[in-house]
């Protein structure tokens, strides 16, 4: 792409015009669009992984699904060797994370084009009621050890499972869209993330329970679009960790503010 734009001024003008239009919509450049078909493959790999999880080994389709998974996995590896290695490694990392977080398949799909994992680790998370929080919303609580994943567009709050279910060491509790953060206030020990009051959010009803009641069940189509309705208070383990999390979060909040028009 770089070579073509340098050698062909007309093509360069077309690319610049296209990307100028996209700044108002997707904020993606042409290269990001061209690589999308390849980036969809890890999502199919995740789908096959889920099918294997719910297919009994005695079922006649188990072998076929296993073969399809292995062949697609090998294909992705070969493609990663021929394209941008950084994008390939990141895509596989997202697939691994999606496979390790219970609820990530249907509540919050993680394998998305241009999503990048920036930080992860043990961080105490407290969810507080804010100006956007519905009256009937109840924040989830971790039962074991809280764990946080920071992506370039999301914060994902999980509970570390004592006894991993289906090989998943984490259970999804809540998700915060970085573009919904209005203000970040840092004290000596905590990082307080306040939601934008002008935005109306979908009610998030993530629930952690061995046998959730019918009332707590969430339709997967609705849940996949759920976002946090709470202000977040983060308390890393020490001062050094807090500084690293603070810098990373501030950088992404500023990036989102630049890319997202004011509401």
pTM to 2 decimal places: 0.63
- The beta strand positions in the chain, using DSSP E, are 101-102, 117-121, 123-129, 145-151, 154-165, 168-177, 181-186, 191-195, 230-236
106-110, 219-223, 227-231: which is most confident: 227-231
Alpha-helical regions (H) of 101-181: none
Instruction: State the residue for tokens 């959730």.
Output: 212
User: Rounded to 5 degrees, what are φ and ψ at 122?
Assistant: -75, 120
Q: What is the pLDDT at residue 85?
A: 61
Q: Quick one: pLDDT at residue 16?
A: 85
> What's the confidence (pLDDT) of residue 88?
66
Please report, for residues 18, 26, 73, 112, the alpha-carbon distance to residue 32 in angstroms, rounded to integers and kept in the order given: 12, 10, 22, 12
- For 139-189, write each residue's pLDDT tens digit: 877 777 899 999 999 999 999 987 777 678 998 999 998 888 989 999 999
Residue that is written with structure tokens 């294997």 in the block: 52
CA 121 to chain centre: 15
Q: What is the rounded average pLDDT of the residues 182-203?
A: 78
The phi-psi region of residue 27 (left if phi > 0; otherwise alpha if psi is between -120 and 50; otherwise beta) is left
Please list, in sequence order, all residues whose beta carbon lies within 8 angstroms of the beta carbon of residue 43, skipping any fewer than 6 positions away. Answer: 109, 111
Q: What is the 3-state secondary structure (H, E, C) of 101-114?
A: EECCCCCCCCCCCC
Region 53-72 average pLDDT: 92
Beta bridge partners of 125: 234
Dihedral angle computed from the Cα positions of residues 185, 245, 103 and 71, in that order, rounded to the nearest 10 degrees: 150
Number of residues in the chain:
263
The span from the CA of 192 to the CA of 231, in Å, is: 7
Residue 106 has a pLDDT of 67
């Amino acid at each position: 792409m770089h070579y073509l734009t340098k050698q062909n001024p007309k093509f360069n003008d077309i690319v610049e015009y296209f990307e100028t239009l996209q700044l108002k919509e997707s904020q993606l450049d042409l290269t990001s669009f061209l690589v999308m078909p390849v980036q969809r493959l890890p999502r199919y790999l995740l789908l096959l992984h889920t099918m294997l999880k719910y297919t009994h080994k005695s079922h006649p389709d188990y072998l076929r699904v296993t073969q399809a998974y292995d062949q697609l996995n090998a294909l992705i590896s070969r493609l990663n060797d021929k394209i941008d290695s950084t994008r390939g490694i990141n895509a596989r990392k997202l697939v691994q994370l999606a496979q390790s977080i219970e609820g990530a398949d249907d509540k919050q799909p993680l394998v998305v084009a241009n999503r990048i994992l920036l930080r992860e680790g043990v961080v105490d998370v407290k969810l507080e009621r804010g100006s956007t929080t519905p009256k009937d919303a109840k924040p989830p609580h971790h039962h074991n050890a809280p764990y946080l994943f920071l992506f370039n567009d999301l914060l994902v709050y999980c509970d570390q499972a004592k006894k991993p279910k289906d090989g998943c060491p984490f259970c999804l509790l809540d998700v915060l869209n970085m573009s919904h953060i209005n203000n970040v206030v840092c004290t000596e020990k905590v990082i307080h993330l306040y939601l934008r009051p002008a935005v109306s959010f979908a009610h998030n009803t993530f629930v952690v329970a061995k046998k959730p009641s019918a009332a707590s069940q969430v339709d997967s189509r609705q849940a996949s679009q759920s976002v946090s309705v709470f202000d977040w208070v983060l308390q890393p383990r020490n001062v050094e960790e807090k500084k690293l999390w603070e810098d990373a979060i501030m950088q992404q909040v500023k990036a989102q503010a630049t890319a997202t028009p004011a509401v």
